[in-house]
Amino acid sequence: MNVKEIRKKVIREEIDINALENFFSKLLKGLMADLVDSIRVRGKAVPHLIINTGDDIMYLEVKGQDMSIEPGEVSNEKFVYNYVPRGVVTPAGIDILTDQLTSPYTRGQFQFEYDDNLYTFTAEFRRMPLKMQVNVKYYLDSFTDSLELIQYIVTHINFIRNYQIIYMGQSIPCSYRFPESLEEQFNAEFDGLSQDSKYKTVEIQLEIETNIPVFYPRTAIEGDLTISGEYMYMVTLDGEDTVFDSEKEAEAFVKEHPSGILKRIKKALWNKRPVFKDDKLVDIEDIRDQMLEKLVTKK
């Protein structure tokens, strides 16, 4: 399937370019990766996880899909879910800031993979600002560990942290803020029969600020050729064409040669990448001249 066929699919929305990649999944993964790199307890990194698979699925995977084995006989749920220290991340909500939308006529580049091929297109898009609230609950062994965690957050991590994710070939900046107050919680066991956890916990609420690019598929064109708003100026004199990048230069040439005919034509700009035709490298200037000739002929 060639690029033109892919472009038709994009324009007809048979390929939904705004749903090819999970933006919020990458946003949370980037946050958790930055937290793992940032948080330390006893000098070691604290793993962060989202409990989203369910115990039943995990039990079946550990048992090798053997339904005859009881969940408690062969499983590693304590190792996965009860690793201490750990941070459990829970998304809480998303706010879309529609009053801060960018211009709808900005053109940007995006990439996506289809049928094991990577395609590059440009299209008009808007950056939609949004905020995402996330709760992070840390489980620790002792009261000393909880104090050490709070001290580490206060002394080693700025109130605003930054990280980046790659979405549709674009680098998306993200930032999140640590809370200004931290509280340590303690669950105690009194009667020896209680099932309450005896772990110390520290819970914080983070707010991620970022933007998601929303592309307009009907404006998509191939990334190899982009028509810009700039113009070139051609003067036809005695059947020969002379091209100028500056309008002043073209007008000065016409003054010297009054019989010359001045035409203004939109420029065609190519990305700086090699172009091949019939397995041979093609000169960009030759392509530009051919394109220019077609534009003049049409006009």
Task: Write down all domains in the chain, each with its CATH number in brackets.
Answer: 3-47+83-219 (3.30.2000), 224-298 (no CATH)
Burial 276-296 (b: 16+ CB within 10 A, else e): eeeeeeeeeeeebeebbeebe
| Three-state DSSP class for residue 8 | helix
| Three-state DSSP class for residue 71 | coil
What pLDDT score does 264 carry?
Answer: 74
Whether 254 has a pLDDT exceeding 80, the answer reads yes
Do residues 263 and 241 lie in contact, with contact meaning Cβ atoms separated by under 8 Å? no
- What's 217's DSSP letter? G
What pLDDT score does 173 carry?
Answer: 94
What pLDDT score does 289 carry?
Answer: 56
What pLDDT score does 284 carry?
Answer: 47
pLDDT confidence bin for 242, thresholds 50/70/90: confident
pLDDT confidence bin for 275, thresholds 50/70/90: very low
User: Which of 81-90, 141-150, 247-256, 289-298 is predicted least confidently?
Assistant: 289-298
Whether 234 has a pLDDT exceeding 70, the answer reads yes
Alpha carbon distance 200, 223 (integer Å):
54
pLDDT confidence bin for 219, thresholds 50/70/90: confident
User: pLDDT of 3-45, one tens digit each?
Assistant: 888 888 888 889 999 999 999 999 999 999 999 988 889 888 8
User: pLDDT of 127-172, one tens digit each?
Assistant: 899 999 999 989 888 888 888 888 888 887 777 889 999 999 889 9
Give the rounded distance of the alpha carbon of 281 from its chain centre: 33
